[in-house]
């Protein structure tokens, strides 16, 4: 056993390829006939959006490595060049299949339900006349076609925006010969246009903006002949660079970087599949891309914009049924949430249980004269956030409000800069965490005067303080008045807002100081129990498993006889089922109506289990480069709840579970002769029906 080299590259799945496999599982939901039709369309759009971000961040990073000559490899030993080639192969296959499902399955199925995306060939005269008026009214005043010549070089093309390249013949008013022109689709106009009912023979007819421009692009070039018009879209590097060692004002540095995201280096070019090779090559040259980065598509290049149809069509029979989230009985009866917490912790599982108690917790704190201060971390909040309003109300009421805002929450940087300004204007103290470490912990601490003493009340969560995602993501939130936890949370806030060494915590584990070491220690304990002939078990649920030391520790545990179940939604770099190494490890991914986002760690500990929920996945960035909070679930009722419904329920899923194979692929679990069981449906029935 000791002779096995657990650092061999073949023991590790590449992170980027694993992420593509996750996207394949999301896409498979679009093919699943058990899902309502409009939800299948939504899953297709989500898969497309995921792929956009994959190119903007992960592929862009690899391009940067190649550009600067890096040959650095990960645990799997793939170089950036080798990995880009593999990614291109898988991504091209995925994109081709996405458009095939769209054109051959979803569009025909939607048409049967009288939901049509009308192609130009199917426009009736009445609709054509309406579209012509729409073009003249909404587009002509905005469009600015650019002819390409020495006075008009190739324009700067925005990241992920819809464009057209037009080939022209003839002479213009100045005697210039036709050639090429670029037309940018207005960003202010919807990509999906609903045909007014008076012009449509069906219930729901839609026109693509790209079709409108295609049909009337000739009007933009009077006297010229349009030989061809081809849509295209370029994806650019969207990662922001801020030099942590040089920056003296993080907010100003990010404000300076945000505009560059639109024009960073290109990493992918999408064009219509009827685009001639010479035009595609011309575009590739303009963006300094190779053929591997070219994706020819049979449909709209901005596929994710079809999501608008899901929102525009009022067909309850074609979407997931609605439900009313549960509210724990103790909170329904309570008029004062602080008094309720004197009698024990309250654990919430969103979206099956309402997020409203978290908002109420803050609202009561804002309005309660006995509350002296509120401290909170914010990573993502959403527009018109009730959480933010409560914080502003508290600050306006004269309470001490301190908010740690993570400005670098990817793609929410601009919103968080604006949020910081709003809170400061209301009188809150706003800090941006620690330079070099993202603040990813989800914490609220309320300090309340009770008699002669001060008492702390906390909320700790696995997900963001975002009321919309709380309806879409599965997350745990713990409301507690445990004073040891309160002391720990207070210390964490002091770390983020002040200066000083990390002090010892009583109950919480935190990144970047104690969490990684504690996980390795708990795994080693299970190894020791197994070697002593005792029952040993590890169950962990998270979004991603990447960190190599933990993976090697799990391999060692498996080899010692520890039974290990991992419920990992997305990236998993560990290979299960390898003879002599990972035979005792099973990895499953649950893909369903809700995005799995809870992080739960369970270690059997000789019958006295360690049970934690956390904001952190087992990735290098979470364990070493972020501020994360991992909190114990100690009271009996919440512990039973987490183990039974948050873990065992998922391990018995035989309908929405995908089992990771040792070759890095996933196979969907099937009920066979057993009763079909879906973990998310079980939770809906338990809490909501």
Could you tell me the two tokens for 283?
């575009």
- Does the pLDDT value for residue 591 go beyond 60? yes
Considering the domain architecture, whether residues 136 and 193 belong to the same structural domain is answered as yes
Q: Which of 209, 217, 215 is nearest to 180 (CA)?
A: 217
- Does the pLDDT value for residue 399 go beyond 60? yes
pLDDT tens per residue across span 272-322 = 999 999 999 999 999 999 999 999 999 999 899 999 999 899 999 999 999
CB 267 within 8 A of CB 235: yes
- The H or E element spanning position 308 is helix 307-312
pLDDT of residue 242: 42
> In this structure, what DSSP letter does residue 549 have?
H
pLDDT of residue 334: 81
Domain boundary among 453, 481, 505: 505
Is 2 inside any structural domain?
no
Task: Report the alpha-carbon distance of residue 146 to residue 36 in Å, rounded.
Answer: 43
Domain boundary among 318, 343, 371: 318
pLDDT of residue 151: 61
pLDDT of residue 410: 56
Q: Which of 315, 322, 337, 462 is nearest to 390 (CA)?
A: 337
Q: Which of 454, 439, 441, 465 is nearest to 487 (CA)?
A: 454
CB 512 within 8 A of CB 498: no
Mean pLDDT of 629-655: 97
Please count the residues of the chain. 689
Could you tell me the two tokens for 234?
């370029």
CATH assignment of the domain containing 558: 3.30.870.10
- Residue 129 C-alpha from the chain's centroid: 41
pLDDT tens per residue across span 34-49 = 999 999 999 999 999 9
Distances (CA, A) of 569 to 187, 191, 221, 473, 545: 34, 31, 51, 12, 9
Do β-strands 438-439 and 626-632 pair in parallel, antiparallel, or remain unpaired? parallel
Is 3 inside any structural domain?
no
* Residues contacting residue 488 through CB under 8 Å, at least 6 positions apart: 505, 506, 507, 508
Is 324 inside any structural domain?
no
pLDDT tens per residue across span 329-372 = 999 888 899 999 999 999 999 999 999 999 999 999 999 999 99
Considering the domain architecture, whether residues 74 and 159 belong to the same structural domain is answered as yes
Residue 439, classed as helix, strand or coil, is: strand
pLDDT band at 240 (very low <50, low <70, confident <90, very high): very low
Beta-ladder partners of 245:
none
- Residue 96 C-alpha from the chain's centroid: 23
- Residue 29 C-alpha from the chain's centroid: 17
Is 54 inside any structural domain?
yes
Q: Which of 446, 462, 443 is nearest to 454 (CA)?
A: 446
Overall domain count for the chain = 3
- The H or E element spanning position 405 is strand 400-405
Decide which of 249 and 375 is more confident: 375
Give the percent of the chain with pLDDT over 70: 93
* Residues contacting residue 523 through CB under 8 Å, at least 6 positions apart: 538, 550, 553, 554, 556, 557, 562, 603
pLDDT of residue 414: 67
Is 4 inside any structural domain?
no
Q: Which of 328, 304, 309 is nearest to 319 (CA)?
A: 309
- Tracing tokens 């993976």 back to the chain, one arrives at 551
- The H or E element spanning position 563 is strand 563-568
Give the percent of the chain with pLDDT over 90: 76
pLDDT of residue 354: 96
Among 63, 350, 440, 604, the active-site one is 440
Decide which of 201 and 396 is more confident: 396
Q: Which of 286, 305, 310, 284 is nearest to 295 (CA)?
A: 284
To the nearest whole number, what is the mean pLDDT of the chain? Answer: 91
Considering the domain architecture, whether residues 404 and 446 belong to the same structural domain is answered as yes
440 is catalytic: yes
Considering the domain architecture, whether residues 297 and 349 belong to the same structural domain is answered as no
Ranking 150-164, 307-321, 459-473, 658-672 by mean pLDDT, the lowest is 150-164
pLDDT of residue 3: 77
CATH assignment of the domain containing 262: 3.30.1840.10
pLDDT of residue 2: 58
Considering the domain architecture, whether residues 657 and 612 belong to the same structural domain is answered as yes
- Does the pLDDT value for residue 257 go beyond 60? no
- Residue 386 C-alpha from the chain's centroid: 22
pLDDT band at 249 (very low <50, low <70, confident <90, very high): very low
Is 360 inside any structural domain?
yes
Which range marks the domain in which residue 600 is found? 510-687
Considering the domain architecture, whether residues 300 and 313 belong to the same structural domain is answered as yes
pLDDT band at 247 (very low <50, low <70, confident <90, very high): very low
Respond yes or no on whether the N-terminal peptide bond of residue 6 is cis (omega within 30° of 0). no
Is 1 inside any structural domain?
no
pLDDT tens per residue across span 436-495 = 888 999 999 999 999 999 999 999 999 999 888 899 999 999 999 999 999 999 999 999
* Residues contacting residue 179 through CB under 8 Å, at least 6 positions apart: 147, 148, 149, 167, 168
Task: Report the alpha-carbon distance of residue 478 to residue 358 in Å, rounded.
Answer: 9
């Amino acid at each position: 056993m000791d002779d096995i080299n657990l650092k061999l590259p073949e023991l590790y799945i590449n992170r980027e390829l694993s992420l593509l496999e996750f996207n394949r599982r999301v896409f498979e939901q679009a093919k699943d006939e058990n899902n309502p039709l409009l939800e299948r369309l939504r899953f297709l759009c989500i898969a497309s959006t995921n792929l956009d971000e994959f190119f903007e961040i992960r592929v862009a990073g690899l391009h940067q490595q190649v550009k600067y000559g890096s040959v650095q490899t990960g645990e799997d030993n793939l170089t950036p060049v080798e990995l880009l080639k593999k990614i291109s192969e898988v991504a091209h296959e995925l994109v081709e299949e996405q458009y095939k499902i769209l054109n051959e399955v979803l569009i025909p199925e939607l048409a049967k339900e009288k939901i049509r995306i009308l192609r130009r060939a199917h426009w009736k005269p009445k609709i054509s006349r309406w579209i012509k008026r729409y073009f003249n009214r909404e587009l002509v005043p905005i469009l600015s076609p650019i002819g390409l010549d020495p006075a008009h070089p190739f324009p700067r093309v925005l990241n992920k925006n819809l464009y057209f390249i037009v080939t022209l013949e003839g002479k213009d008013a100045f005697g210039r010969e036709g050639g090429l022109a670029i037309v940018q689709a207005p960003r202010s106009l919807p990509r999906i246009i609903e045909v007014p009912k008076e012009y449509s023979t069906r219930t729901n007819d839609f026109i693509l903006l790209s079709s409108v421009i295609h049909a009337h692009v000739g009007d933009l070039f009077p006297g010229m002949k349009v030989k061809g018009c081809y849509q295209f879209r370029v994806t650019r590097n969207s990662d922001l660079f801020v030099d942590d060692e040089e920056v003296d004002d993080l907010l100003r540095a990010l404000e300076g970087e945000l505009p560059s995201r639109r024009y960073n280096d290109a990493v992918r070019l999408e064009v219509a599949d009827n685009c001639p090779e010479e035009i595609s090559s011309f575009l590739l040259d303009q963006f300094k891309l190779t053929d591997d980065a070219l994706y020819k598509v049979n449909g709209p290049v901005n596929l994710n914009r079809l999501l608008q149809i899901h929102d525009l069509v009022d067909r309850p029979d074609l979407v997931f049924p609605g439900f009313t989230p549960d509210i724990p009985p103790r909170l329904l009866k309570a008029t004062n949430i602080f008094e309720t917490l004197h009698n024990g912790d309250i654990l919430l599982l969103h979206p099956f249980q309402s997020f409203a108690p978290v908002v109420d917790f803050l609202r009561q704190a804002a309005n309660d004269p006995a509350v002296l201060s509120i401290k909170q971390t914010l990573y993502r909040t959403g527009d018109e956030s009730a959480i933010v309003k409560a914080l502003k109300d508290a600050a306006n009421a004269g309470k001490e409000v301190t908010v740690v805002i993570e400005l670098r929450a990817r793609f929410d940087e601009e919103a968080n800069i604006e949020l910081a300004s709003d809170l400061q204007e209301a009188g809150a103290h706003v800090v941006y965490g620690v330079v070099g470490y993202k603040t990813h912990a989800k914490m609220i601490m309320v300090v309340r005067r009770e008699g002669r003493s001060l008492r702390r009340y906390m909320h700790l969560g696995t997900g963001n303080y975002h009321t919309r995602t709380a309806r879409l993501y599965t997350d745990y939130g713990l409301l507690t008045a445990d004073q040891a936890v309160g002391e720990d949370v207070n210390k964490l806030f002091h770390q983020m807002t002040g200066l000083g060494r990390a002090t010892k915590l009583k109950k919480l584990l935190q990144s970047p100081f104690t969490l990684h070491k504690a996980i390795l220690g708990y795994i080693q304990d299970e190894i020791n129990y197994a070697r002593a002939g005792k029952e040993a078990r590890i169950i962990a649920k998270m979004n991603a498993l990447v960190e190599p030391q933990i993976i090697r520790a799990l391999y060692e545990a498996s080899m010692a006889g520890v039974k290990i179940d991992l419920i990992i939604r997305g990236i998993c770099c560990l290979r299960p089922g390898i003879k002599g190494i990972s035979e005792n490890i099973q990895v499953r991914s649950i893909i369903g109506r809700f995005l799995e986002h809870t992080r739960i760690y369970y270690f059997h500990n000789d019958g006295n289990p360690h049970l934690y929920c956390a904001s952190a996945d087992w990735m290098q960035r979470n364990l070493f480069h972020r501020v994360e909070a991992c909190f114990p679930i100690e009271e009996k009722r919440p512990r039973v709840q987490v183990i039974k419904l948050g873990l065992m329920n998922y391990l018995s899923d035989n309908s929405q579970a995908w089992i990771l194979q040792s070759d890095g692929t996933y196979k969907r679990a099937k009920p066979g002769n057993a009763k079909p069981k879906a973990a998310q449906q079980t939770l809906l029935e338990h809490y909501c029906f």
